[in-house]
């Protein structure tokens, strides 16, 4: 700022200018701190655990393979059943249980399938005995009931001995159907809601820890004496929002690099109603509003708390409330045009989630302008209420903080980057 354009001595910064000073101060302090690097690495641990868990699950599924049915029949009947199974498996898209001969039975020889299944070392799900004309399937009730039709089809084919020619089916595809498109967009909306909720809950806590730390070393009281408390709250909110956006951008770049390296995301989400570019823009806007709204509540909680234990006790109800708000928005997503959806769009804390889901399902854009304006108004009210609560509970007496009376206002020193406070 040009020194010639400084405010007269004794005057105070405007709310906007003071908020900008606080936001710049906190943003630079957090961004260039050593803990910010570990903050960026934080999400890598759950992602790594998820990848390892997925790999282990895939190995387990591969080792399980298809269920095995042990065949205990005479040699000709067993060969006929296995040949019929192989021939049908080549024609059917669905997977058939694997047949494996576990006992050679002579004609007229008594057979106990239960004993064979219990004593056999092979991991078989059921035992097939009898003949193709009268097959007997022994095993757990649910499993054998599920396979009854499949075994009957294979046995009927084994009796004929040859596969009859099947007529060729012509396939005519369509681009999409209304029901399929609606279901796909709902999946996209649910994914966007979940991502927005996780990012908001993971990052909003930084606002609370920042305010409690500055309350402990009395910095917040010095700031409150120099500039309006509303400006302090706004500055801290937008500083932490900027830090969060830097972190999200870094994670997005890392995810993009991984996708380019891997060649596939593993996700196949249908295109949203407003298109992917607009959904991303709205997602950033609604993340900012959800973050600022929840952060304003955390700032108010920080004005009441003096220790970390009090912060944890007071923030737990807010966290549970936000979880209920997410459930409300998720349910409202499945009820378009109903009163429950309107309620979710009007409530300030659920509005970002409900409106982001609406963007994935409805191409209209004007409701989003109205929703963002409404959320901004609610944010203004919450910040002013939190600042008033802070002034009332913390700055009211010397026992909790120095009195305003007799305190000299800090001097402002002009620098090239703008006014700073001493």
What is the token pair recorded at 71?
A: 């065949």
The answer to the question of residue 330 being in a domain is yes
Residues 211 and 324 occupy one common structural domain? yes
The answer to the question of residue 173 being in a domain is no
Residue the block writes with tokens 């007529």:
167
Q: Which of 386, 41, 398, 334 is nearest to 185 (CA)?
A: 334
The answer to the question of residue 313 being in a domain is yes
Residues 217 and 271 occupy one common structural domain? yes
Of the residues 160, 188, 210, the one at which a domain ends: 160
Residues 150 and 75 occupy one common structural domain? yes
The answer to the question of residue 101 being in a domain is yes
State how far the Cα of 74 lies from the Cα of 130, in Å rounded to an integer.
Answer: 9
pLDDT of residue 59: 63
Residues 286 and 387 occupy one common structural domain? yes
Residues 137 and 232 occupy one common structural domain? no
Of 5-14, 51-60, 181-190, 330-339, the one with minimum mean pLDDT is 5-14
pLDDT at 148 exceeding the cut of 80: yes
Three-class HEC string of 301-365? HHHHCCCHHHHHHHHHHHHHHHHHHHHHHHHHHCCCCCHHHHHHHHCCCCHHHHHHHHHHHCCCC
Residues 380 and 240 occupy one common structural domain? yes
pLDDT of residue 196: 93
pLDDT digits (tens, 9 = 90+) for 248-292: 998 888 888 877 876 655 566 778 889 889 999 999 999 999 999
Q: What is the DSSP string of 378-415?
A: HHHHHHHHHHHHHHHHTSSSTTTS--STTPPPPPEEEE
Residues 283 and 354 occupy one common structural domain? yes
pLDDT of residue 265: 56
What is the token pair recorded at 165?
A: 């020619």
What is the token pair recorded at 231?
A: 């400006």
CB 82 within 8 A of CB 113: no
pLDDT at 373 exceeding the cut of 80: yes
pLDDT at 10 exceeding the cut of 60: no
State how far the Cα of 382 lies from the Cα of 294, in Å rounded to an integer.
Answer: 10
What is the token pair recorded at 391?
A: 């002034």
Q: Indicate the helix (H) or strand (E) that contains 420.
A: strand 418-421
pLDDT of residue 120: 58
pLDDT at 349 exceeding the cut of 80: yes
pLDDT of residue 254: 83
Of the residues 131, 160, 189, the one at which a domain ends: 160
Average pLDDT of the segment spanning 348-352 = 94
Average pLDDT of the segment spanning 220-241 = 84
pLDDT of residue 407: 44
Average pLDDT of the segment spanning 162-176 = 74
Phi-psi region of 3 (alpha: psi -120 to 50; beta: other; left: phi over 0): alpha
- CB neighbour burial string for 141-151, b if at least 16 within 10 angstroms, e if fewer: eeebeebeebb
pLDDT of residue 282: 95
State how far the Cα of 390 lies from the Cα of 396, in Å rounded to an integer.
Answer: 9
Give the end-to-end CA distance of the chain in Å, rounded to a whole number.
17
Q: Which of 252, 381, 230 is nearest to 303 (CA)?
A: 230
The answer to the question of residue 166 being in a domain is no
State how far the Cα of 259 lies from the Cα of 287, in Å rounded to an integer.
Answer: 23
pLDDT at 177 exceeding the cut of 70: no
The answer to the question of residue 88 being in a domain is yes
What is the token pair recorded at 97?
A: 């249980």
pTM greater than 0.85: no
Q: Indicate the helix (H) or strand (E) that contains 70.
A: strand 68-73
Task: Answer with the residue of higher pLDDT: 125 or 80.
Answer: 80
State how far the Cα of 285 lies from the Cα of 280, in Å rounded to an integer.
Answer: 9
Residues 358 and 303 occupy one common structural domain? yes
Considering just the CA atoms, what is the radius of gyration of the chain in Å? 33
Task: Answer with the residue of higher pLDDT: 402 or 275.
Answer: 275
Confidence band for 369, pLDDT divided at 50, 70 and 90: very high
Total structural domains within the chain: 2
Of the residues 130, 160, 190, the one at which a domain ends: 160
Q: Rank 56-70, 263-277, 395-409 by mean pLDDT and report only the highest.
A: 263-277
Confidence band for 55, pLDDT divided at 50, 70 and 90: low
Residues 184 and 254 occupy one common structural domain? yes
pLDDT of residue 377: 96
The answer to the question of residue 401 being in a domain is yes
Confidence band for 206, pLDDT divided at 50, 70 and 90: confident
CA angle 230, 388, 312 (to 5 degrees): 95
Confidence band for 404, pLDDT divided at 50, 70 and 90: very low
The answer to the question of residue 47 being in a domain is no
> Looking at residue 123, which CATH number applies to its domain?
3.40.190
CA angle 292, 293, 297 (to 5 degrees): 110
Residues 256 and 401 occupy one common structural domain? yes
Structural domain containing residue 369: 3-34+179-421
Q: Give the list of residues 6+ apart from residue 18 with CB closer than 8 angstroms, or none.
A: 12, 226, 227, 228, 231, 232, 235
Q: CA torsion sign, 126 to 129 to 132 to 134?
A: negative
pLDDT digits (tens, 9 = 90+) for 314-348: 778 888 888 899 999 999 988 888 999 999 999 99
Residues 268 and 377 occupy one common structural domain? yes
Task: Answer with the residue of higher pLDDT: 1 or 234.
Answer: 234
Residues 102 and 244 occupy one common structural domain? no
Task: Answer with the residue of higher pLDDT: 68 or 328.
Answer: 328
């Amino acid at each position: 700022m040009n020194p010639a354009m400084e405010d007269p001595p004794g005057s105070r910064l405007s709310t906007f200018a003071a908020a900008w000073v606080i936001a710049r101060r906190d943003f630079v302090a957090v961004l260039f701190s050593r803990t910010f690097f570990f903050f960026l690495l934080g999400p890598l641990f759950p992602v790594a655990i998820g990848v390892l868990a997925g790999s282990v699950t895939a190995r387990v599924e591969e080792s399980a393979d298809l269920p095995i049915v042990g065949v205990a029949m005479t040699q000709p009947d067993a060969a006929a059943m296995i040949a019929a199974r192989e021939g049908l498996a080549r024609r059917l898209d669905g997977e058939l249980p694997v047949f494996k001969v576990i006992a050679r039975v002579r004609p007229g020889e008594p057979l106990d399938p239960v004993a064979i299944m219990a004593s056999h070392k092979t991991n078989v799900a059921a035992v097939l005995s009898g003949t193709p004309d009268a097959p007997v399937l022994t095993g757990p009730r649910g499993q054998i009931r599920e396979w009854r039709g499949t075994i009957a089809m294979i046995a009927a084919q084994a009796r004929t001995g040859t596969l009859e020619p099947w007529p060729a089916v012509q396939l005519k595809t369509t681009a999409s159907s209304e029901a399929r498109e609606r279901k796909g967009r709902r999946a996209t909306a649910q994914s966007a809601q979940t991502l927005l909720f996780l990012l908001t809950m993971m990052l909003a806590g930084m606002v609370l820890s920042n305010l409690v730390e500055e309350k402990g070393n009395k910095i917040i009281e010095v700031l409150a004496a120099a500039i309006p408390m509303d400006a302090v709250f706004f500055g801290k909110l937008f500083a932490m929002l900027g830090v969060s956006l830097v972190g999200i951008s870094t994670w997005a770049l890392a995810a993009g690099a991984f996708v380019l390296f891997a060649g596939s995301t593993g996700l196949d989400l249908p295109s949203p109603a407003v298109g992917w570019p607009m959904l991303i823009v709205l997602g950033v806007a609604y993340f900012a509003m959800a973050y600022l709204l929840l952060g304003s509540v955390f700032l108010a909680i920080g004005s009441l708390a003096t220790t970390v234990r009090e912060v944890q006790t007071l923030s737990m109800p807010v966290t549970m409330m936000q979880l209920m708000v997410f459930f409300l928005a998720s349910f409202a997503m499945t009820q378009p045009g109903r009163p429950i959806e309107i309620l979710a769009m009007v409530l300030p804390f659920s509005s970002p989630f409900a409106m982001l889901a609406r963007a994935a399902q409805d191409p209209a854009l004007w409701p989003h302008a109205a929703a963002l304006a409404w959320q901004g108004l609610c944010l203004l009210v919450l910040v002013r209420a939190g600042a008033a609560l802070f002034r009332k509970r913390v700055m009211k007496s010397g026992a909790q903080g120095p009195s305003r009376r007799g305190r000299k206002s800090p001097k402002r020193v002009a620098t090239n980057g703008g006014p700073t406070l001493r």
